[in-house]
Structure 1
Amino acid sequence: MQKASFLLLIIYILFSSELFCQNLHLKVSGNTERETNTIDSLNYLKTHKDYTSISHEVDSLQKRLFRIGYIENELKDITKINDSLFETQIHLKKKFNTIYIHYDKTKIRRSLLESFAKNVFDDYFELEFSKVESTLNYINTKISEEGLPFSKLRLSDIKIKDTSNLSAKLIIESKEKKRTINNIIIKGYEKFPSSYLKHYLKIKPSQVFDLTKIKNKTSQLSNLRFAKEIKPPEVLFSKDSTTLYLYLEKAKSNAFDGFLGFGTNEETNNIEFDGYLNLSLINNLNYGEAFRLQYKSDENDQKTFQADLTLPYLFKSPIGVDLLLRIFKKDSSFTTVNQSLKLHYQINPKHKVYAGLLSTESNNLLTENTSLTISDYKTQFYTLAYEFIKPQPYSLLFPINSKVYLETNFGERKAQNTQEEQSQFLVEAFKIFNLNRKNSIFFRLNGAALNSKTYFENELLRFGGINSIRGFEENSLFSSLFGLINTEYRYQLNNSIYIHSIIDAAYFENKISDTKEKLFGYGFGFGIITQAGLFKFNYANGKSENQKFKLSNSKIHISLIANF
């Protein structure tokens, strides 16, 4: 019997919360059933742990009623009905729907009021009473953006206009003149190129002070490879000046990129190697400059040398220059030299436009010209281009989320005492669709076209390999028009390792050989961030539309990108 009683006591202690804590209940009613329904619609908290919580909830309920227009609501005493129930009554009285706010047009722009109020006049505007609080906060924010961070707003002389409307005066208090940025001090990376402050971030002295806009602008530093923000900007206000402090850090931006590829030659069945080296030096002179050097040698006895230099914000202007030299040699058949000069204008951190000149000269190296399709020629093109880049700086493996580059060239070609108008079009775009933290889909579109009445083999577009359609030899495909799609399904094992599929498709035309063909590439790969850099491995097999699958057509590409 004692054991049974002890067991019942334990069960009662474990399952009866009433023994330790008694919940209190609150009931609020109005003078009428309609008022009670209005109060219940606000979903006030009805269960509380103590009387203090009940008192706070009633006070909060009154304020909510005030915000929606019941400014004359009257609260009766909170009455204790029993040990767990408290009741009170709120008489809502009249509801005011609209307030007519009179303003001083010398202190606030009418256009600002028209952005949120329907009826705006020269000396007053109409506003729903329920929107008063949010509207005053909005107006104060906009005034602060105009260089008055210490301004205060309030409604004065609130009066009853009629049975459902109020009137009031909008008072704007500001004891100082508009604040402008007098000085900008950079901490951490004192040699940060000043032109980027003015033209890239668009922050400069004498600018109207707005801390919110400044924070939004400095967050765009994540788009730059050579600098990053280490803490939010701060501001020092003195009586006559405003000093802005930016906290930056120089980041590793130089990169060395290379890959080694090998596959089986279909004719000799021997293993052949190809590869390239790519060196990128960025901001080593603290000017924001970029220098890239690339050398490529592939299994088709083709060699490419390319050097390009980008100098942003020449003479502290918003204009920059891009210089390029590319030399291509096809065994002992021909060489082609491209020289490019483009001026660019950075619209904002994501958008850039280009205009310039492209010059090409190609020479036939055959001592006996057995090929009628290879000829000496020179071209002069005018270039227009546009670039969009959206980064995702939180990702170490995939720092760029999307990119679009469009280029058009138009001019003429001179060859053997003949002149012919030509045009070129180029598009390159990719996008990463992030499904969740680990899964994503990579989609890339690349294409180019050369429009001309006649064509030479040594002026055709070249593609194929790791940077175009995988599973084919580097630059082994010649075309007058091509378009290709690269897709990858990517799965991140962690922040530094990912695996992916390879599904590529391409279509190209060759006007010289009157060829139209579809190509496909399939495979898989992985990437690992090591102490040396990002190591990539790709295995892909390429085939044409009517060709059977052959294991001997497979290509293995290995690359390493090292930042320093």
Structure 2
Amino acid sequence: MKKSFLLLLIIYTLFSSEIFCQNLKLKITGNTPLETQVIDSLNYLKNHNNYASVKNEANSIQQRLFRKGFIENKLLGIKKVKDSLFNANFSLKRKFKTIYIYYDKSLVTNSILNLVTSHVFDDYFELKFTEVENALKTINSKISEEGLPFSKLKLSNIRIIDNTNLLAQLSIDATEEKRIINNIIIKGYENFPKSYLMHYLKIKPKQVFDIDEIKVKTEQLNNLRFASELKSPEVLFSKDSTTLYLYLKKTQSNSFDGFLGFGTNEETNKIEFDGYLNLNLTNNLNFGESFRLLYKSDENDQKTFTTNLSLPYLFKSPIGVDLSLNIFKKDSSFTTVNQSAKIHYQINSRHKIYAGVLYEESNNLLNENSVTQIFDYKKNFLSLAYEFQKPQTNNFLFPTNTYLYLETNFGNRKESNQKERQSFLNVNTFKIFNLNRKNSLFIRANAATINSDTYFENELLRFGGINSIRGFEENSLFATMYGLLNTEYRYQLNNSIYIHSIIDLAYFENDIAKINQKLFGYGFGFGLFTKAGLFKFNYANGKNEGQKFKFSDSKIHLSLTTNF
């Protein structure tokens, strides 16, 4: 007997909540079958655990009927039909379809009203009643953007015109003065260059306060290499001032990759450097400046030295300066020195334009009796350029989604006492098509051309290698015009590893050698982000049109980029 009692007690303890839990049903009807059909279309909740839930659902349905235009609807009562069945009865009455709202021009402009309706008149505008709630939210949001974050908006003096139309007055409580940004305080990275706030983000004191617009602008900080946003901006309102707090972090933006070797030339007894060095220094002076140093000595006995310096927002203006120097030496044939100075204007975070001058000088190092198309010359060009970048901040391996650089140069080439008009055009662009989270397609196009009546061998365009058409030796191809297409199908195994295919196509012309050729490059590669940096491996085989495929012609490109 005791055991049976104990067993019943355990069952009662474990399942009493299930046994005594009410399972109530709610049925909502109207005064007519048509009204009941309207209520059924709202798909209300029919099963409830208690009476309070039943009552809350009936009140919720009443509010939804108000929004649909049944502003006269009434809940006649909730009756218990059976032990577990309740019936809520409504009288819907008339449905109002249109409301005419009168407004004060000094408080709200026509441009704001045109966002919510196309029926705007001198002193009133027309809305479908079902659109009222969203329309008022939009209007209030736009008024807040104009520096009135605490404005309150409502409809007053609502009157019935006839069986389907209403009339109301738009009331806006905006007694305070417009809010402007009085002070900007940066937390975390106090030395962040202030010129970037003014010209890159376009946030500055005395600006009309709009928190939504500020949040959109500060997200662009993540596009910078040297800074990122820790959290969303915050605002401190006082009686007569508005203080904006930005929370930023300085990030590692310097990078280095390459290898370097040196030895003594047996013929000249001079030290010669061999290898590859690519050094990028960014924002080390907290000015937003960038400096690049590139040295390359390849298997074709070609040496390249390049240095670039970019100084943005000089004297807190939107104008910046770009200086560059490039020295190229082709074995013992010639040297070419290219110098340029440009000013740039940052239109916004994505668009930038350039204008400047370019000076180029080349010297023939061969014996004067040698028969070549290499000559001493000097060039003076005017330069115009445009740059566009669209980032994708959610991808660490591929932070830039779209890039476009277009540059044109025109001027004169002087050789001995002869002058000749020339122009040069260069286009470099790429786009990443994200198929899904792991799969993407990378397409890059690069083209350049020299327009001239005559050409010298030492002024030709040079391409080939990892940064142009893969599978060919670095700068081994000379052209008066070329165009190339790089494609990669990429698959990300995780956030730090990806593999990709290589399919490259190119076409070039050389008017000196009277040749034009099609080139192809095939292969594969992978990228791996390690503690040391981003390691890239490319295996590619290049061939000319009509040439047989040979494994011996394959090239392996390795690089390791370290950030510090």
Supply the distance in 2 between the matched residues of 1:259 and 1:481 (Cα, whole angstroms).
31
Instruction: Write out per-residue CA displacement over residues 117-171 of structure 1, whole angstroms, 9 at most, x where no aligned residue.
Output: 2222222111111111111111111111111111111111111122211111111
1:345–1:352 CA contact under 8 A, matched in 2: yes
Find the residue that maps to 1:225 and give its secondary structure: coil
1:36 alignment counterpart: 36
2:120–2:126 CA contact under 8 A, matched in 1: yes
1:260–1:559 CA contact under 8 A, matched in 2: no
1:312 alignment counterpart: 312
1:441–1:487 CA contact under 8 A, matched in 2: yes
2:260–2:277 CA contact under 8 A, matched in 1: no
Q: Which amino acid aligns with 1:289?
A: E
Deviation at 1:462, TM superposition (A): 0.4
Deviation at 1:48, TM superposition (A): 2.4
Mapping for residues 364-513 of structure 1, pairs under 5 Å: 364-513=364-513
2:23 alignment counterpart: 23
Deviation at 1:370, TM superposition (A): 2.1
2:283 alignment counterpart: 283
1:360–1:378 CA contact under 8 A, matched in 2: yes
Deviation at 1:19, TM superposition (A): 5.3
Deviation at 1:505, TM superposition (A): 1.1
2:537 alignment counterpart: 537
Deviation at 1:427, TM superposition (A): 1.0
Q: Which amino acid aligns with 1:168?
A: A
2:116–2:138 CA contact under 8 A, matched in 1: no
1:200–1:346 CA contact under 8 A, matched in 2: yes
1:106 alignment counterpart: 106
Q: Which amino acid aligns with 2:152?
A: K
Find the residue that maps to 2:347 and give its secondary structure: strand
Deviation at 1:242, TM superposition (A): 0.7
Mapping for residues 129-528 of structure 1, pairs under 5 Å: 129-258=129-258, 275-528=275-528
2:323–2:340 CA contact under 8 A, matched in 1: yes
Q: Which amino acid aligns with 2:436?
A: N
Deviation at 1:308, TM superposition (A): 0.7
1:259–1:559 CA contact under 8 A, matched in 2: no
What is the aligned residue count?
Answer: 539
Instruction: Write out per-residue CA displacement over residues 228-262 of structure 1, whole angstroms, 9 at most, x where no aligned residue.
Output: 1111111111111111111111111011022699x
Which shifted more, 236-245 or 112-121? 112-121
Supply the distance in 2 between the matched residues of 1:274 and 1:540 (Cα, whole angstroms).
23
1:289–1:310 CA contact under 8 A, matched in 2: yes
1:443–1:488 CA contact under 8 A, matched in 2: yes
Supply the distance in 2 between the matched residues of 1:489 and 1:45 (Cα, whole angstroms).
49
Supply the distance in 1 between the matched residues of 2:491 and 2:318 (Cα, whole angstroms).
41
Supply the distance in 2 between the matched residues of 1:45 and 1:27 (Cα, whole angstroms).
9
Deviation at 1:175, TM superposition (A): 2.9
Instruction: Write out per-residue CA displacement over residues 270-298 of structure 1, whole angstroms, 9 at most, x where no aligned residue.
Output: xxx97421100100111000010100111
1:5 alignment counterpart: none
Deviation at 1:84, TM superposition (A): 3.1
Which shifted more, 294-303 or 404-413? 404-413
1:551 alignment counterpart: 551
**Cα 1:274–1:38, aligned 2, differ >3 Å: closer, same or farther?**
farther
**Cα 1:425–1:20, aligned 2, differ >3 Å: closer, same or farther?**
farther
Deviation at 1:33, TM superposition (A): 2.0
2:496–2:529 CA contact under 8 A, matched in 1: yes
- Name the TM-score, length of structure 2 as normaliser: 0.92
Deviation at 1:455, TM superposition (A): 0.8
Deviation at 1:49, TM superposition (A): 2.6
2:346–2:353 CA contact under 8 A, matched in 1: yes
1:269 alignment counterpart: none
Instruction: Write out per-residue CA displacement over residues 157-188 of structure 1, whole angstroms, 9 at most, x where no aligned residue.
Output: 11112221111111111231001011111111
Q: Which amino acid aligns with 1:257?
A: D
1:4 alignment counterpart: none
Supply the distance in 2 between the matched residues of 1:395 and 1:73 (Cα, whole angstroms).
53
Deviation at 1:417, TM superposition (A): 1.6
Which shifted more, 372-381 or 445-454? 372-381
Deviation at 1:468, TM superposition (A): 0.7
2:470–2:540 CA contact under 8 A, matched in 1: yes
Find the residue that maps to 1:473 and give its secondary structure: coil
Tell me if 1:76 matches 2:76.
Answer: yes
Deviation at 1:343, TM superposition (A): 1.1
Q: Which amino acid aligns with 1:62?
A: Q
Which shifted more, 68-77 or 431-440? 431-440
Moved over 3 A (4+): 17-23
Q: CA RMSD in A?
A: 1.9
1:259–1:558 CA contact under 8 A, matched in 2: no
Supply the distance in 2 between the matched residues of 1:369 and 1:456 (Cα, whole angstroms).
17
1:260–1:558 CA contact under 8 A, matched in 2: no
Deviation at 1:348, TM superposition (A): 1.0
User: What fraction of aligned residue pairs are identical, expressed as a percent?
Assistant: 70
Find the residue that maps to 1:156 and give its secondary structure: strand
Supply the distance in 2 between the matched residues of 1:58 and 1:162 (Cα, whole angstroms).
28
Tell me if 1:58 matches 2:79.
Answer: no
Supply the distance in 1 between the matched residues of 2:292 and 2:408 (Cα, whole angstroms).
23
Supply the distance in 2 between the matched residues of 1:316 and 1:307 (Cα, whole angstroms).
25
Which shifted more, 380-389 or 245-254? 380-389
Supply the distance in 2 between the matched residues of 1:506 and 1:339 (Cα, whole angstroms).
28
2:463–2:475 CA contact under 8 A, matched in 1: yes
**Cα 1:81–1:382, aligned 2, differ >3 Å: closer, same or farther?**
same
Find the residue that maps to 1:494 and give its secondary structure: coil
Supply the distance in 2 between the matched residues of 1:402 and 1:275 (Cα, whole angstroms).
31
> Whose relative contact order is higher, 1 or 2, with alpha carbons under 8 Å and at least 6 apart?
1
The unaligned stretches of length 5 or more in structure 2 are 1-13, 262-272
The unaligned stretches of length 5 or more in structure 1 are 1-13, 262-272
Q: Which amino acid aligns with 2:327?
A: I
Supply the distance in 1 between the matched residues of 2:174 and 2:253 (Cα, whole angstroms).
46
Supply the distance in 2 between the matched residues of 1:430 and 1:489 (Cα, whole angstroms).
14
**Cα 1:509–1:192, aligned 2, differ >3 Å: closer, same or farther?**
same
Find the residue that maps to 2:65 and give its secondary structure: helix
1:259–1:560 CA contact under 8 A, matched in 2: no
Q: Which amino acid aligns with 2:144?
A: S
Q: Which amino acid aligns with 1:216?
A: V
Deviation at 1:537, TM superposition (A): 1.3
Instruction: Write out per-residue CA displacement over residues 326-378 of structure 1, whole angstroms, 9 at most, x where no aligned residue.
Output: 01111111111111111111111111111111111111111234234111111
Supply the distance in 1 between the matched residues of 2:308 and 2:222 (Cα, whole angstroms).
24
Deviation at 1:435, TM superposition (A): 2.1
Instruction: Write out per-residue CA displacement over residues 192-225 of structure 1, whole angstroms, 9 at most, x where no aligned residue.
Output: 1110010001000000011111111110001100
Deviation at 1:31, TM superposition (A): 1.8
Find the residue that maps to 1:348 and give its secondary structure: coil
Supply the distance in 1 between the matched residues of 2:118 and 2:521 (Cα, whole angstroms).
59
Supply the distance in 2 between the matched residues of 1:156 and 1:369 (Cα, whole angstroms).
97
